[in-house]
Amino acid sequence: MARLAVATSPLVLSLLRQPAWRVGAQPELALRRKDAALLALLALEGACSRDVLAHMLWPDVDVAKARASLRQRRDRLARGAGMAVIEGEATLQLAVGGDHEVRDPEAHLARDAAALQGELLDGLVFDDCPEYARWLDGARERWRLMRAQALGRLASRLQEQGSLDRAIAVAQRLCVEEPLSEHAHRQLMELHYAHGDLGAALQVYQRLAARLEAELGE
């Protein structure tokens, strides 16, 4: 069989909400659960041992069968995309040329401040893969932090550029997603103050104080 090369059409992965993929201008297609699991781990980690991946995704079979299942899934992804999706042998990584939200969240948000909604692999459960489930719990928290940091940096950059309205909109989203973050609320208060709206700044402070008292007793 001819070897699949990396195609010129871009492969775009969507790993938030309902995981999906798209090749070039083709319609977006939903990813199967373990396909999404495999691609999300490589997107977050950059590279991973083939045997570690096989064990995480097929924990109840022997090494040879787990490797075979991983190889079959990798081959099926390549056939479906018409290009190599995963590269490597002993160590696997996403093929060069693909794109996904995790790679540069700030760039995605700069293009669309409402982008990157939802949780990593939102709604997917991996009770049958306990090691992967533990990894996913940590990855979801890391992704939440990455997104929050990207929103904060974007708000600061927009403020420096004098785009206060856009900066305020980004900071407001950050406060919604991080409702107990004093840093996020302080940034929004400073933006309102810079915009000449002291009343809005005080409202942000009052909402945060009330929430901290209600939820943390502080």
**Adjacent-strand bridge partners of 20:** 14, 30
Query: Of 137, 122, 117, whose CA–CA distance to 18 is shortest?
Result: 122
Tens place of pLDDT per residue across the chain (218 aa): 334 444 445 888 999 988 999 988 888 899 999 999 999 999 999 999 999 999 999 999 999 999 999 999 999 999 998 889 999 999 999 998 778 888 889 988 999 988 999 899 999 999 999 999 999 999 999 999 999 999 999 999 999 999 999 999 999 999 999 999 999 999 999 999 999 999 999 999 999 999 888 888 77
Helix/strand/coil (H/E/C) assignment for every residue in the chain: CCCCCCCCCCEEEECECCCEEEECCCCCEECCHHHHHHHHHHHHHCCEEHHHHHHHHCCCCCHHHHHHHHHHHHHHHHHHHCCCCEECCCEEEECCCCEECCCCHHHHHHHCCCCCCCCECCCCCCCCCHHHHHHHHHHHHHHHHHHHHHHHHHHHHHHHCCCHHHHHHHHHHHHHHCCCCHHHHHHHHHHHHHCCCHHHHHHHHHHHHHHHHHHHCC
